[in-house]
Amino acid sequence: MDKLYSVTELARDLGVTPRTVRFYEDQGLILPQRAGNTRIYTHRDRARMILILRGKRLGFSLKEIKEFLDLYVVDTTQVEQLQLLATKVRGRIALLEDQLLAVQTSLTELRDIERMTLDALRSKGVNSA
Amino acid sequence: MDKLYSVTELARDLGVTPRTVRFYEDQGLILPQRAGNTRIYTHRDRARMILILRGKRLGFSLKEIKEFLDLYVVDTTQVEQLQLLATKVRGRIALLEDQLLAVQTSLTELRDIERMTLDALRSKGVNSA
DNA sequence: CCCCAGGTTTCCCTGTACGTCACCTTGGTA
DNA sequence: TACCAAGGTGACGTACAGGGAAACCTGGGG
């Protein structure tokens, strides 16, 4: 336990590139210790990275993730943080629900187009595979 | 019939900005006549614009749309064009089906998080609106 | 002594679809 | 004739999430 990681190790461990990890630092999302110039990551940093990646996977922007993680540090009771999280999550849910509808609409329209296209091809004597 | 449009008219008619229409020209998607320097759009150009916007709405990139419209001009039998369309449409359908799943997964995960968040807040004596 | 692996910084590049700005022309109107 | 609105061009900015490459440093091994 208390394993320490280099950028490369941490990155490989999490399935991202070192460039990405450094980029997140640039954006203020993580602040590893240094040994001289070399970045040193603890298991806490690793956990933080995992949170970041989870946020990304769920569609949050790096800015939103930062905003959220920043609160985590400041807000010891975590009430404010949880409230922000709840709000953001609800927003995201609403957005995804819209997106779901949009995708379904597009799918319908595309399937219509596909059918018409194949009909047109058949009427020209071309049979589709 | 045979109404002619200025950029501004056409743009307003289609719910985009003149900038957008000119941009599409830059990208080789439309090539209106000119009276001197002034762009003049016919109802054919308008129809073409509508096709472009429809493509966009369905998630195709301008490059794909161009590729497709270019074939329309060259390919008089339209067989090749229809085949390209069918392929592209199928690709888009596949992509959207994946996306649908991804969105549904995210939604599930987000609803879990929302529930957990609200529980946590309640356990801290905070009641949500 | 030299070289390599792996670390560092800094800066520019990518794609997408326009928005914005500055500046120039032109046609019509008062 | 003075002027404005609407047209034009060209260049640069925007957002997002990094990728890529140059140029440097550093420690360890042979």
Q: What are B63-86's pLDDT values in tens digits?
A: 999 988 888 766 667 788 888 888
Q: Pull the structure tokens for residue B106.
A: 């995210």
* pLDDT average, residue stretch A38-43: 94
Residue B127 has pLDDT above 80, yes or no: no
pTM strictly above 0.85:
no
Rounded to whole angstroms, the distance from the CA of residue A1 to the C1' of nucleotide D18 is 31
Nucleotide nearest to B23 (CA to C1'): C18
Instruction: Report residue B72 CA to chain centroid gap.
Output: 18
Secondary structure class of B126 (helix, strand, coil): coil
Distance from chain centroid for Cα B31: 19
pLDDT at A45 over 80: yes
Please indicate whether, in this complex, the C-beta atoms of A114 and B89 are within 8 angstroms of each other: yes
Number of Cβ pairs < 8 A linking chain A and chain B: 92
What positions of strand D are covered by protein, i.e. any atom < 7 Å from a CB? 6-9, 16-20, 26
Q: What is the CA radius of gyration of chain B?
A: 23
Are A83 and B57 within 8 A, CB to CB? no
Question: pLDDT grade, residue B1 (50/70/90)?
Answer: low
Determine how many CB atoms are found less than 10 A away from the CB of residue B17: 13
User: Which residue of chain A has the CA closest to B122?
Assistant: A79
- Residue B128 region, left (φ>0) first, then alpha (ψ -120 to 50), else beta? beta
User: Sorting pLDDT into bands at 50, 70 and 90, what band is B96?
Assistant: confident
CA distance, residue A54 to nearest chain B CA (Å): 11
Q: What share of chain B is helix, strand, coil (3-state, %, to 5)?
A: 70, 5, 25
The residues, any chain, with a CB within 8 Å of residue A9's CB and separated by 6 or more, are A41
Distance between CA A75 and CA A84 in Å, rounded? 11
Q: Is the CB of B16 under 7 A from strand C?
A: yes
